Amino acid sequence: MKRICVFCGSNAGHDPRYRVAAVAVGRLLAARGIELVYGGGNVGLMGIIADACLAAGGTVIGVIPEALVGKEVAGRHVDHRALTRLEVVASMHTRKARMAELADGFIALPGGFGTLEEFCEILTWGQLGFHVKPMGLLNVAGFFDPLLALFERAVAEGFLRQENRAMALAADDIEGLLAAMAAYQPEPVSKWLKETREL
């Protein structure tokens, strides 16, 4: 993986472990020569991970919709260091498509609606066979436990195949997650379960 797209909160959250994890991700990507692709802002966990990667000598590519440039204060980072590259695009849809195009894998850190939506959309694209890139949740302090339980519930209730559920990798430390992503082998399987209809 030469580039990894990270989805994460534009807020930092209350638990200091979220900040610590974001710094660790940024530093490790830089140390391994993996470029960071992210949402382009300098606020919240987004800003923390970009700052850490830049400060460690890494490459950071931001992709941000024009409407959010002011709100997410795009481009200005630690010590006023500029991002390696900032792409300003027309819409949120274009942002997600461009980030997916640039990346060789995807990681979600804790975040809100936007983070969850971005990760679930990229999971759906994988489920539909639009890409075969690894996708992982960095489960800091058990943040994603309820989401992982929901995925299991979807399998148990017949809404999701176990093979598709397995596409959502998870680990509580970044080194373990990167190892799981490097070993990822997608199973080509239809998302549609056999259905019995009764009138």
Q: What is the pLDDT of residue 69?
A: 81
Q: How far apart are CA 124 and CA 77, in angstroms?
A: 32
Asked whether the predicted pLDDT for residue 148 surpasses 70, the reply is yes
For strands 3-7 and 105-108, give the pairing. parallel
Q: CA nearest 42: which of 68, 14, 67, 4?
A: 68
Looking at every residue in the chain, the average pLDDT score rounds to 91
In 28-167, DSSP assigns E strands to 35-38, 60-65, 85-89, 105-108, 135-138
Strand pairing category for 105-108 and 85-89: unpaired
Do the domain assignments include residue 131?
A: yes
How many other C-beta atoms can be found within 10 angstroms of the C-beta atom of residue 183?
9
d(CA 49, CA 132): 25
Q: Are 49 and 72 in contact (CB under 8 A)?
A: no
pLDDT (tens digit, 9 = 90+) per residue, 35-45?
Answer: 999 999 989 99
CA–CA distance, 98 with 166 (Å, rounded to integer):
25
Task: Kindly tell me if the per-residue pLDDT of 29 is higher than 60.
Answer: yes
Q: Which two tokens stand for residue 84?
A: 């390696």
Domain region containing 90: 3-182
Residues 6+ apart with CB under 8 A from 7: 38, 39, 106, 107, 108, 109, 111, 114, 115, 118, 119, 122
Residue 79 confidence class, pLDDT cut points 50, 70, 90 = very low
As a whole-number percent, the residues of the chain with pLDDT over 90 amount to: 83
Residue 195 falls inside a structural domain: no
User: Residue 88: what pLDDT?
Assistant: 92
Q: Which of 25-29, 30-34, 99-103, 194-198 has the lowest mean pLDDT?
A: 194-198
Domain CATH number, residue 135: 3.40.50.450
Name the one residue in this structure whose structure tokens are 């080509």. 188
Q: Are 186 and 165 in contact (CB under 8 A)?
A: no
Q: Would you say residue 191 lies in a domain?
A: no
Segment 85-101 shows an average pLDDT of 94
Flag whether 122 is in a domain.
Answer: yes
Residue 192 resides in a domain:
no
52 part of a folded domain: yes
In a domain, 13, yes or no: yes
- pLDDT for residue 195: 56
193 found inside a domain? no
In this structure, how many other beta carbons lie within 10 angstroms of the beta carbon of residue 82? Answer: 12
- State the pLDDT at residue 188: 66
- The pTM for the full model equals 0.90
Q: How many domains does the chain fold into?
A: 1
Q: pLDDT per residue over 39-75, tens digit each?
A: 999 899 999 999 999 999 999 999 999 888 866 555 5
